[in-house]
Amino acid sequence: MNKNETKELLERVARGETSVEAALLALKDAPFRDIGFAKIDGHRALRCGAAEIVYGASKTKEQIAEIAAEMLGSGQKTVLITRMSPDAAEFVSSRLPLDYNEAARAGIAGERPAPDGRGKIVIATGGTSDIPVAEEAAVTAQALGNEVTRLYDVGVSGLHRLLAHTDEIMTASAIIAIAGMEGALASVVGGLADCPVIAVPTSVGYGASFGGVSALLSMLNSCASGVSVVNIDNGFGAAYCASMINHIGVI
């Protein structure tokens, strides 16, 4: 049960449409339910303003399906599943309604929520190789109720490609700047933008890119103010932050 759903419940109680007892029952679920191999944190949506997310990387397809089903069965309307292989997605979608994005290796089980944020989240990438991380961010942002604008392949070695999109950059609520190699995109975007920039280094590159470390260091040292950084390839985390920013004061 997320914050909106909780609010709706309380409003139904206020309007007399739901009895106090029924509301209590809905709320009284233990803060987490133990399903053996994982503890599902039902109150986290309430506490942190977003639905529980399933990190699929270290789970079997059966575990992913079981956890997602448990969540949907407990009243959660939207479940985001990240780091899920196409094979696992096929298995899950045979049991649950699932909207899977193969480039992102992520999917939405249940309903995709309508955008309810303050504005748009811009997702920019330095090159085409960064797109999988960008798509993970896009799917996440959408699952959390945000409208997304994609600006792909606008790296700094061809500035005119980026400058052609100054409008989108100047009007965003939050920007996710995704780049591998030297990661300079974050600084240039940060210099142009008037909103927080979440930088995502990617493991794209070779040799001295060290699996994304060079881009990570570059972004941490950005000479532009207003830039903060998440882990390498962590499109999900960047979108989560951006969604929080885009929903400030909403609801």
3-state secondary structure 203-236: CCCCHHHHHHHHHHHHHHCCCCCCEEECCCCCHH
143 binds its own copies (CB under 8 A): no
Residues 178-207, mask of contacts with its own copies (x by CB under 8 A) = --xxxxx-xxx-xxxxxxx-x--x-xxxxx
Q: Are 110 and 119 in contact (CB under 8 A)?
A: no
- Phi and psi at 36, nearest 5°, equal 95, -70
Instruction: Find the shortest distance in angstroms from Cβ 178 to its own copies.
Output: 13
5, 26, 43, 69: which one binds its own copies (CB under 8 A) = 43
Does 2 participate in binding its own copies (rule CB under 8 A)? no
Say which residue the tokens 């997702």 belong to.
123
Is there binding between residue 167 and its own copies (CB under 8 A)?
no
Q: Which stretch binds its own copies (CB under 8 A): 17-25, 90-98, 108-116, 210-218?
A: 210-218
Cβ proximity of 227 and 199 under 8 Å: yes
Are 172 and 208 spatial neighbours (Cβ–Cβ below 8 Å)?
no
Which token pair is 12?
Answer: 């139904």
Identify residues 48-107 at the interface with its own copies (CB under 8 A): 48-50, 53, 57-59
The phi, psi pair for 68, rounded to 5°, reads: -65, -40
CB 81 → its own copies: shortest distance, Å? 14
Nearer to its own copies, 1 or 193 (CB): 193
Nearest to its own copies of 18, 235 (CB atom)? 235
Rounded least distance, CB 30 to its own copies, Å: 9
Give the interface size with its own copies as a residue count (CB under 8 A).
Answer: 93
Q: Which residue in 56, 57, 33, 55 sits closest to 44, CA to CA?
A: 33
- Residue 134 Cβ, how far from its own copies at the closest point, in Å? 12
